[in-house]
Amino acid sequence: MKTSTIKIAIAIAALIIAALPASAQQPATGDTIIIDRIVAVVGNSPVLESAIESQYFQAKARNVQTNKCKIYEDMLYQKLLVSQADIDSLTVTEKQVDAEIQSRLQGFINQLGGLEKVEEYFNKPLGEIKEDLRAVTEDQLLAQMERDEITKDIKVTPSEVNNFYRHLPKDSLPLIDLEFELNQIVFYPTISKKDIEDVKKRLRDIKDEVEHKGAMFETKAILYSEDPVSAAAGGELGFMQRDELVPEFSAAAFKLKRDSISDIIKTEYGYHIIQMIDRKGERINVRHILLKPKFTPEAKQRAKQLADSVYNVIKEGKITFEDAARLYSQDEKTNKNGGLLMNAHTGSTKFQVDDIFPTNYYNIKNLKEGEYTRAFESYDSKGETIFIIIKVKSKVEPHIAHIETDYQVIQDMALDKKYRETYDKWVAEKSQSTYIKISNDYKNCPFEYDGWLHNELKR
């Protein structure tokens, strides 16, 4: 956009703000939805009242404590970042936006108890909710990209970490929760051919009912699909590219025409049928129904007996726990390294209580370092039944963080402080050189950064 065009757009937006009357209700506490209007301009980007309302509504749906003044200031920060992202030619893909929207919708579904509850809460069908989320989601992703750009080269040296620790008030040091390092040996009940055929027959019957008897695919997905993420949304996955789907699923889905249904597809998750909703180039939106074969009680008992026998040979000292994991564990992610578990959230081998599946924690909580459980029934990350033996490789009791034992924690705190200082300096500089107009409705908000109003007065 040419500079003269930007100036005209800003001038028009500023006139709109000046001409509109103030709301009769304070934005920090009011829930009343008012006629849409521009309530701020940052650079050449307006902030709409509807965007504030939408964010507030979403926060309430997730039981997040906030107010409209806080949301308003967050959007000022966001628009400042987005304005710079445009200058820096940063972009986000539709795939990234769609994935984030799907994640947020799933959060609403989980929080409110189903897709119908979400549509009822927002008083809109799913398609309209997605469209409402699109623009603000794209801005939020761009803002995060720009913030990452601002802080990407920030590092802290060991001397900086030590200096930060020395000057940190002792009552500011965090409490480190109980921490474990864990090894595991995993056994799965064997699925019989009959179990598999039963699942395939159910999927064939569902496909026949949809294609020939007027049944709705999405209704069948809600009732029967064993995919916990998509079932509540009628099996819908949202727009995805080939590399976002497991290969077998992707190969079948991309061959489908609109509304057609695939044959039965096997993946690592189980057995699926897929219905095409829409396609945009190399991106597709499909529904699917996932069914998982159920093992027999006899298969479950055999897995338990195998787990017990491995436990016994370890207990008798005939083999180490780690060697038993390499020889017998059926978990391919951990058996090669002696069953050592990695924390998917942190990328480390350390687990705090909240990171451990409740059944597993119940069985290890009283163990000492080096001790291990008997075989017990649990679930893997996909919800599959397993029998598992867990060894406590290390155990650190709750304590106040100390640089000798918790260097990584102190380093992260020092790095976070440097991030915040760098970002705050950037905001102060950019807000001085960027056009910012604040609506009268929000000038009494208790802003975290008082430069929004001070800088406006200088223009």
User: pLDDT for 240-289, tens place per residue?
Assistant: 888 888 999 999 999 999 999 999 999 988 999 999 999 988 889 999 99
Nearest one of 267, 266, 240 to 254, comparing CA atoms: 240
User: Residue 113 sits in a domain of what CATH number?
Assistant: 1.10.4030
- Per the model's pLDDT, the better-predicted residue between 225 and 15 turns out to be 225
Mean pLDDT of all residues in 55-77: 87
Report CA-CA distances (Å) from 49 to 42, 54, 58. 14, 9, 14
Last residue of a domain, which of 237, 259, 291?
A: 291
pLDDT(34) > 70:
no
Token pair for residue 126?
């799913």
Q: Residue 457's pLDDT is what?
A: 52
Residues 47, 149, single domain; the answer is yes
Q: Residue 405's pLDDT is what?
A: 84
Give me the number of domains the chain comprises.
3
Residues 186, 212, single domain; the answer is no
Is 356 inside any structural domain?
Answer: yes
**Distance in angstroms (rounded) separating the CA atoms of residues 241 and 224:** 26
With a CB cutoff of 8 Å and minimum separation 6, the contacts of 148 are none
Is 165 inside any structural domain?
Answer: no
pLDDT(49) > 80:
yes
What are the φ/ψ torsions at residue 393 (nearest 5 degrees)? Answer: -70, -45
Last residue of a domain, which of 291, 313, 334?
A: 291
User: Residue 333 sits in a domain of what CATH number?
Assistant: 3.10.50.40
pLDDT(458) > 70:
no
Residues 215, 307, single domain; the answer is no
Is 166 inside any structural domain?
Answer: no
Residues 230, 371, single domain; the answer is no
Give the long-range contacts of residues 376-384, CB within 8 A, separation 24 or more.
Answer: 377/304, 380/186, 380/331, 381/344, 382/269, 383/228, 384/188, 384/292
Residues 378, 438, single domain; the answer is no
Is 169 inside any structural domain?
Answer: no
Mean pLDDT of all residues in 356-377: 96
pLDDT(153) > 80:
yes
- Give the structural domain span for 301: 178-191+296-397
Residues 11, 125, single domain; the answer is yes
Residues 266, 305, single domain; the answer is no
Q: Residue 60's pLDDT is what?
A: 81
What one-character DSSP code corresponds to residue 388?
A: E
Is 170 inside any structural domain?
Answer: no
Token pair for residue 289?
């129904």
Q: Residue 18's pLDDT is what?
A: 35
**Distance in angstroms (rounded) separating the CA atoms of residues 321 and 314:** 6
Residues 104, 146, single domain; the answer is yes
**Distance in angstroms (rounded) separating the CA atoms of residues 389 and 381:** 16
Residues 256, 302, single domain; the answer is no
pLDDT(417) > 60:
yes
DSSP string, 284-296: EEEEEEEE-PPPP
Is 168 inside any structural domain?
Answer: no
Last residue of a domain, which of 291, 306, 330?
A: 291
Q: Residue 217's pLDDT is what?
A: 96
pLDDT in tens, 79-99: 999 999 989 999 988 878 888
pLDDT(21) > 50:
no
Residues 310, 221, single domain; the answer is no
What one-character DSSP code corresponds to residue 239?
A: S
Is 105 inside any structural domain?
Answer: yes
**Distance in angstroms (rounded) separating the CA atoms of residues 27 and 48:** 13
Cβ pair 256, 262 in contact under 8 A? yes
Residues 10, 133, single domain; the answer is yes
- Is residue 291 classed exposed, middle or buried when 0-12, 13-18 and 19+ CB atoms within 10 A define those classes? buried
What are the φ/ψ torsions at residue 394 (nearest 5 degrees)? Answer: -145, 155
Nearest one of 217, 214, 243, 215 to 231, comparing CA atoms: 217
Does the model's pTM come out above 0.75? no
Residues 301, 426, single domain; the answer is no
Average pLDDT, the chain: 87
Cβ pair 64, 39 in contact under 8 A? no
Which residue reads 């802290």 in tokens?
Answer: 156
276 sits in which H/E element: strand 270-280
Q: Residue 455's pLDDT is what?
A: 63
Q: Residue 35's pLDDT is what?
A: 56
Label the pairing between strands 283-291 and 399-400. unpaired
Residue positions counted in the chain: 459
Is 164 inside any structural domain?
Answer: no
pLDDT tier at 128, thresholds 50, 70, 90: confident
pLDDT(452) > 80:
yes
pLDDT(205) > 60:
yes
